Amino acid sequence: MSNNSSTNLVTYLAQFEESDWLEALESLLPCIHEVDKNAVQIWFRFYPLGLHRMLASAEDRDDVIRGLALQGDFELKDQIATSHHFLYGHRYWKSVKKKIISENEKFKDEGQSLADEIKQLAIRVSAKQSVERNLVNAIAAIGLMTFNQVGADAFAATSGEVEDPSGLMSKSPDAIVAQRAKDDSQGLLGFLRTVDKKYSVKYLNGRLNGRFPIMDDQEIASASGRDRSRDWKADDERCWEGVVPVECVSASCGTCWVGVLGGQEKLSEVKPRERRAMKVFGYKQPEDEKPFLRLACQAKAFGNVTIVIPPWNGVFGKKVYGNVDELELEPVTTSAKALREAVASG
């Protein structure tokens, strides 16, 4: 069925704003397994509906992209089957996709809430897969948002196949949660050590998963930069050093934003500079003292942390959300200058 004709499911989903989706997701969190609780909230920040709609409605799309300083792969339509690789529920994508396509063919808007629509999809998928519904609620929400953003034709045209989970992700949900909570051993007398403690940052992005060492009280970005195990820039031109993209190390460019899948309580609290900058960038960082969305150049680790790295970055807070009036950034780096110009042009 062509998206140009606007199916009932397309029309139904199109009525909801980004705030409606986040509200529905918030109501579903108690019914989502811990293994994907942070992950699904991160995904919805990685692929914000407000930004998508701004780009979709732009008369000169290329000009808007330049104005928002967007870098990397920010198009969900190019990552339909892979954007959610860091969720445990990713393994159920094939079933989620089939159920959404089936729902699209027979959907009738009977006034149900968005949260209820997600729940009904999850019920059908969990029955098909014979798994607990708390393991599929997250990927069901992502499936419907993906359908909403890319349209029926593009959604149906992509493969529903996913790679078999490997490494830690091949273990049970509880085992994954437990492993993410563990710190590296400091040796038999580690409890006596007050300095030189060394931990690990485990990372996932669209191509790689691995880890790099981090010292106690060290920023994630600086620890990433010390990892010279490969040519990171060849993988991602935004990566000057290490797997975490970074440019300014002063919360002025926004390239180093990451989602925290595990260990967020082992990171330093958000300081005013990071809080303000995250609003400018548009990344929707929660107001928690130690939220699941961070700037890697500002977040210091005091234990093992598991992060997921988004494939893009930009400056769209003022233009999409209208949440920034004035901004003064220091030091006066090239990144800060470009950021000020992008914000001012909003």
Angle, helix 18-28 to helix 114-129, in steps of 10 degrees? 50
pLDDT exceeds cutoff 80 at 180: yes
Give 23-73 as a DSSP string. HHHHHHGGGS-HHHHHHHHHHHHHS-HHHHHHHHH-SSHHHHHHHTT-EE-
Could you tell me if 97 and 213 lie in one domain?
no
Per the prediction, the chain carries an average pLDDT of: 90
Into how many domains does the chain fold? 2
- Whether 87 maps to a domain, the answer reads yes
pLDDT of residue 160: 86
Could you tell me if 323 and 236 lie in one domain?
yes
- Whether 166 maps to a domain, the answer reads no
pLDDT of residue 143: 98
pLDDT exceeds cutoff 60 at 3: no
pLDDT exceeds cutoff 80 at 4: no
Q: How confident is the model at residue 323 (pLDDT cuts 50, 70, 90)?
A: confident
Q: How confident is the model at residue 337 (pLDDT cuts 50, 70, 90)?
A: low
Could you tell me if 12 and 66 lie in one domain?
yes
- Whether 167 maps to a domain, the answer reads no
Task: Please give the structure tokens belonging to residue 332.
Answer: 């006066």
Identify residue 318 by its one-letter amino acid code: K
Q: How far is CA 98 from the centre of its chain?
A: 24
CATH number at residue 230: 3.10.20.30
What are the residue ranges of helices labelled H in the chain?
8-14, 18-28, 34-46, 49-57, 61-67, 93-106, 114-129, 137-150, 152-157, 173-181, 220-225, 232-235, 272-281, 334-344
pLDDT exceeds cutoff 80 at 153: yes
How far is 52 from 24, CA to CA, in rounded Å? 19
Could you tell me if 148 and 178 lie in one domain?
no
- pLDDT tens digit sequence for 196-237: 899 999 999 987 899 999 999 999 999 999 999 999 999 899
Could you tell me if 179 and 155 lie in one domain?
no
The contacts of residue 132 (CB under 8 Å, 6+ apart) are 33, 126
Q: What are the residues facing 305 on neighbouring strands?
A: 201
Closest CA to 198 of 217, 179, 225: 217
pLDDT of residue 159: 85
pLDDT of residue 288: 96
What is the reported pTM?
0.91
pLDDT of residue 332: 39
280 against 339, higher pLDDT:
280
Range of the domain at 22: 3-161
Task: Point out the domain boundary residue: 94, 129, 161.
Answer: 161
- Whether 62 maps to a domain, the answer reads yes
* SS3 state of residue 276: helix
How far is 183 from 191, CA to CA, in rounded Å? 12
How far is 327 from 1, CA to CA, in rounded Å? 47
Could you tell me if 188 and 286 lie in one domain?
yes
Could you tell me if 140 and 186 lie in one domain?
no
| Cβ atoms 242, 212 nearer than 8 A | yes
Could you tell me if 294 and 188 lie in one domain?
yes
pLDDT of residue 37: 98
Could you tell me if 273 and 137 lie in one domain?
no
Task: Point out the domain boundary residue: 161, 182, 209.
Answer: 161
- Whether 292 maps to a domain, the answer reads yes
Task: Please give the structure tokens belonging to residue 58.
Answer: 């732009």
Could you tell me if 205 and 148 lie in one domain?
no
Q: How confident is the model at residue 300 (pLDDT cuts 50, 70, 90)?
A: very high
What are the residue ranges of helices labelled H in 196-271?
220-225, 232-235
Task: Point out the domain boundary residue: 130, 161, 192.
Answer: 161
Percent residues over pLDDT 90 in the chain: 79
Length of the chain: 346
Closest CA to 70 of 234, 297, 226, 282: 282
Q: How confident is the model at residue 194 (pLDDT cuts 50, 70, 90)?
A: low
Name the DSSP letter for residue 14.
H
Could you tell me if 190 and 90 lie in one domain?
no
> Is 290 exposed, middle or buried, given 0-12, 13-18 or 19+ CB atoms closer than 10 A?
middle
Q: Across residues 267-285, what is the average pLDDT?
A: 96
- Whether 169 maps to a domain, the answer reads no
Could you tell me if 189 and 334 lie in one domain?
yes
- Whether 168 maps to a domain, the answer reads no
